[in-house]
Amino acid sequence: MNRSDRDPGLLHVFKDKLKLLLDKWRTSIAVFVLYTVLTLIFTYPVAFSENMVPGEGDVFQFLWFFWSVKTSLLSLTTPYYSPMIFYPSGVSLAFSGITILNSAASIPLQIAFGLVNAYNIIWISSFILSGCGMFLLVKYLTDDTKAAFVSGLIFMFCPYRFAHALGHMNLISTQWIPLYILYLNKTVDEKKLSNALLASLFLLLNALSCYYYLIYMFTFTLIYLLYNELNNKNIFKIDVVKRVGIMAISFIFVVSPFLYPLFKEMFASKSEYMYYGGFVEYSADLLAFFVPSIMHPVFKDIVSPLYANFTGGWAEFTVFAGYTVIIISAFTFLKLRTKEVKFWTLSAAIFFILSLGPILHIRGVFSFAIEHYTVYIPLPYAILMQIPLFSLARVPSRWDVLVMLSLAVLCGYGLNHIFKSCTRGVFSKKNLIFVVVTVLILFEYLSVPYPMISAEVPEIYRELANDQEDYAIIEIPNYGPSTVTRSEYMYYQTLHGKRLVNGYTSRTPDHATKFILNTPLINQLMQITQWDAGIEPSFNDIIDQDIINIAPAILNYYNIRYVLVHEDLLKKRQIELVKELLQNSTAGDPRIYENDSIIVFDIREGPIGPFISLTNSGWHGLEDWDGIPTRWIENDATLMIYTDENHVVDLSFKALSFYRPRSVEVYVNDLLEMQSQVTSNNFVITKVTGVRLKEGVNIVRFHVPEGGERPSDIKAMNNPDSRCFSIAIQGIEIS
């Protein structure tokens, strides 16, 4: 038989196999198409908007993440650190919402369609894939296509997702959660080892999308395995242990390179910033589960007064479960007493309690006065939040994603039971119930038109993009002493590519903000918004020098070329303060971009004159002691003296020891210049004479051999302050 005789047979076999494959996946393909159409409708106008993105605020941070990861990976550098924000120190992104999977997946989309379109495509796909994942899970559990379809709708369109879609790309990456749970079930129930590998794969995808969800999946897995052992007595069978072990080992193997930056940041640096508060403020309110979303086009005006009482922001206090979902879930629990239904009811209850946080909130109230006592109702999270790693999940309301997943599964079981009792046919009771339930759920979860925000970039940033030189810029205003909440500044950087002194990450390491807090001029510029129009600011720090006169030297030394002021966000007097600070630094009058409400100060380039600046280590924040600027140090703190020629100077300062007497040593360029005793009763004036300064950078180090102490460790003080203090310093002078 020659080759031509065999070809028709091979073609026939290929067609048969393709037909079998299409038949097998026909339902899933149809569901995918339906979910896609519904997503385009119920997220309107996202897919139909040009140069706009869904949401507000944090959405620009995630656009920046997409750009930053693309820049890092294409240049073969780590995506977990960026030198582009919080210049000049840069910042670790290990515990930010970097969502490395989405960011990496966006790279080909960015190249093909641009950054904004890439973001919108991934945003829309998260809805479709979340529905598909939920459909596959419930189809496996119930073998009911219609019930599974409704469960998918519940999960993909629940208010939790719509609320976080305003700007939390990591948290709307929920598509991998049901797929991991599906293959976790299969790993326990079926003998195929491939299920264990797929479970580890989907657990990895969860971890790379959102580390919150990795913590959630560990918790769910523990509950699932424990429940199975108590009810089915099968978890400790050799073959089950083998499969679960393969799942765990393969996951640890593949996730280790991605977890390394997180553990490095956690253990190798001072990581207190990862545990800052939020546990109480960002707890779900009990009433919020029963109040329609504030984004609902019909109910928003009705429910807005109720939402005004809830703590946290839009994204965090929106946990509405839906009346139809609650009713069907309650019916399922009361009608079906199977082990499976009991498990998913238990799952919903556990994660519901966790989402309520450490203290019960009811309509925004979490404390009650009884006689002369303030009473709180504590919940299990008050204990769990003390556990390392678990405590990283500092926004309890986000556990709602597993509440909604559990309720979606319960609805699947309940609808499956209802459908089995119905007659068949096109106009059957089963189809009627299916349509009515679907319509009710979609109506209750409605959030159209979805909020959109412009992604247009002001003209000045396009001009900066055309400048090929490497330098830094400052954006004003900056909200708070060290961080900027306007992540638009970072989004603009995706076009102009210049380093930014400002920066914003959800969890910012303390060292990243030291430059802003400690550097003369930079500190004052960044705190402009804290000075009200009627309050004249003091430009003083513990160093006695004229900020306005040294401003050109500081800006040139750090290669800061422009200061951009967004005048529509500032009061008139605040803008005048910026002009006052920069009066000796600019090359002519500032440029005004009226259409964008931006004033641009071009920094005059020139020789770098002498100045003094605190460095990034050892100094605590500036304090006002009876009108005198004061800073505590730990056991070591340094400052930099820049001179344009060799000098012999005298250095003086005032020092006060914390709680008990100490000694202080002063080193200049690593040479011990003086040692002095410091009392804890009064400030001591200390003077170091004949200090030789070389041209350029000189480092002065204050060292306290006895070290520091924490007020919280001294029982007699009864002070909760956990900072480490050795001596307080005032009035540093060079003469």
Distance, CA of 200 to CA of 179 (rounded, Å): 10
Contact indicator for 611, 585 with CB cutoff of 8 Å: no
Residue with tokens 């720090």: 541
Distance, CA of 280 to CA of 390 (rounded, Å): 15
576 domain residue, yes or no: yes
Distance, CA of 159 to CA of 173 (rounded, Å): 14
In this predicted structure, what is the pLDDT of residue 655? 93
| C-alpha triplet 585, 588, 591: angle, nearest 5° | 105
Among 401, 420, 444, the domain boundary falls at 444
In this predicted structure, what is the pLDDT of residue 275? 56
Distance, CA of 384 to CA of 529 (rounded, Å): 38
Sequence-separated (6 or more) residues with CB below 8 Å from residue 371: none
Tally the domains of the chain. 3
**3-class state of residue 133 by DSSP:** helix
Q: Are residues 105 and 142 in the same domain?
A: yes
C-alpha distances out from residue 645 to 94, 517, 520, Å: 42, 28, 21
pLDDT higher at 24 or 385: 385
Distance, CA of 279 to CA of 284 (rounded, Å): 10
The token pair at 377 is 């109702």
pLDDT level of residue 510 (50, 70, 90 thresholds):
confident
Concatenated DSSP letters of 573-591: HHHHHHHHHTTTTBSSSPE
pLDDT level of residue 536 (50, 70, 90 thresholds):
low
665 domain residue, yes or no: yes
Average pLDDT, the chain: 90
Q: Are residues 409 and 496 in the same domain?
A: no
**3-class state of residue 365 by DSSP:** strand
Distance, CA of 485 to CA of 318 (rounded, Å): 21
Contact indicator for 524, 547 with CB cutoff of 8 Å: yes
Among 413, 444, 475, the domain boundary falls at 444
Q: Is the pLDDT of residue 400 over 50?
A: yes
Cis peptide before 481 (omega within 30 of 0): no
283 domain residue, yes or no: yes
Q: What is the pLDDT of residues 28-82, one digit of tens each?
A: 899 999 999 999 999 999 999 999 999 987 899 999 999 999 999 999 999 999 9
127 domain residue, yes or no: yes
Residues in the chain, how many? Answer: 735
Distance, CA of 86 to CA of 646 (rounded, Å): 32
Residue with tokens 């393909």: 29
476 domain residue, yes or no: yes
Q: Is the pLDDT of residue 123 over 50?
A: yes
**Environment class of residue 497 by beta-carbon count within 10 Å: exposed (0-12), middle (13-18) or buried (19+)?**
middle
Residue with tokens 């992604």: 455
Smallest CA-to-CA distance from 153 within 449, 442, 446 is with: 442
Q: Is the pLDDT of residue 592 over 50?
A: yes
**3-class state of residue 494 by DSSP:** helix
In this predicted structure, what is the pLDDT of residue 21? 62
pLDDT more than 90, % of the chain: 67
- Could you tell me the sign of the dihedral formed by the alpha carbons of 182, 183, 187, 190, in that order? positive
In this predicted structure, what is the pLDDT of residue 3? 47
Q: What is the pLDDT of residues 161-217, one digit of tens each?
A: 999 999 999 999 999 999 999 999 999 999 999 999 999 999 999 999 999 999 999
Sequence-separated (6 or more) residues with CB below 8 Å from residue 101: 173, 205, 208, 209
Q: Are residues 393 and 335 in the same domain?
A: yes
Q: Are residues 470 and 527 in the same domain?
A: yes
The token pair at 184 is 């976790």
In this predicted structure, what is the pLDDT of residue 293? 95
Q: Is the pLDDT of residue 137 over 80?
A: yes
pLDDT level of residue 270 (50, 70, 90 thresholds):
low
Q: Are residues 369 and 309 in the same domain?
A: yes
How many other CB atoms sit within 10 Å of the CB of residue 375? 9
298 domain residue, yes or no: yes
How many other CB atoms sit within 10 Å of the CB of residue 151? 32
Least confident of 202-216, 474-488, 506-520, 702-716: 474-488
Distance, CA of 485 to CA of 477 (rounded, Å): 10
Q: Are residues 433 and 508 in the same domain?
A: no
CA gyration radius, the chain: 30
Q: Are residues 324 and 373 in the same domain?
A: yes
Per-residue pLDDT, averaged over 384-388, amounts to: 84
Least confident of 1-5, 235-239, 667-671: 1-5
pLDDT higher at 278 or 227: 227
Q: Which domain holds residue 728?
A: 617-734
Smallest CA-to-CA distance from 336 within 135, 141, 137 is with: 141
How many other CB atoms sit within 10 Å of the CB of residue 53? 23
Element (H, E) at 692: strand 684-693
pLDDT level of residue 448 (50, 70, 90 thresholds):
very high
C-alpha distances out from residue 32 to 115, 139, 271, Å: 25, 14, 43
Q: Are residues 379 and 475 in the same domain?
A: no
In this predicted structure, what is the pLDDT of residue 379? 94
The CATH number given to whatever domain includes residue 709 is 2.60.120.260
In this predicted structure, what is the pLDDT of residue 447? 95
Report the b/e string of 304-317 with b at 16+ CB within 10 A.
Answer: eebbeebbbebbbb
Among 444, 469, 504, the domain boundary falls at 444
Distance, CA of 469 to CA of 341 (rounded, Å): 63
Distance, CA of 579 to CA of 574 (rounded, Å): 9
Q: Is the pLDDT of residue 535 over 70?
A: no
How many other CB atoms sit within 10 Å of the CB of residue 570? 20
Q: Is the pLDDT of residue 2 over 70?
A: no
Q: Do strands 628-632 and 611-614 pair parallel, antiparallel, or not at all (unpaired)?
A: unpaired
C-alpha distances out from residue 48 to 332, 449, 450, 628, Å: 39, 12, 11, 58
143 domain residue, yes or no: yes
Concatenated DSSP letters of 85-108: BSTTT-EE-TTS---HHHHHHHHH
**3-class state of residue 643 by DSSP:** strand
In this predicted structure, what is the pLDDT of residue 4? 45
Residue with tokens 């950078």: 697
The token pair at 272 is 């207190």
Distance, CA of 90 to CA of 82 (rounded, Å): 6
* For the chain, counts of helices (H) and of strands (E): 23, 21
| C-alpha triplet 180, 184, 189: angle, nearest 5° | 150
Q: Are residues 299 and 436 in the same domain?
A: yes
Cis peptide before 449 (omega within 30 of 0): yes
Residue with tokens 């001179």: 643
User: Angle between the 429-444 and 323-335 helix axes, to the nearest 10 degrees?
Assistant: 130
136 domain residue, yes or no: yes
In this predicted structure, what is the pLDDT of residue 269? 59
In this predicted structure, what is the pLDDT of residue 17? 62
146: Cα within 13 Å, side-chain hemisphere: 18
Q: Are residues 433 and 298 in the same domain?
A: yes
Element (H, E) at 61: helix 59-74
Q: Are residues 399 and 490 in the same domain?
A: no
Distance, CA of 185 to CA of 190 (rounded, Å): 8
Q: What is the pLDDT of residues 455-505, one digit of tens each?
A: 999 999 999 999 999 999 999 988 654 444 588 999 999 999 999 998 888
Q: Is the pLDDT of residue 539 over 70?
A: no
Q: Are residues 373 and 433 in the same domain?
A: yes
- The rounded Cα 464 to chain-centroid distance in angstroms is 28
Give the global pTM: 0.91
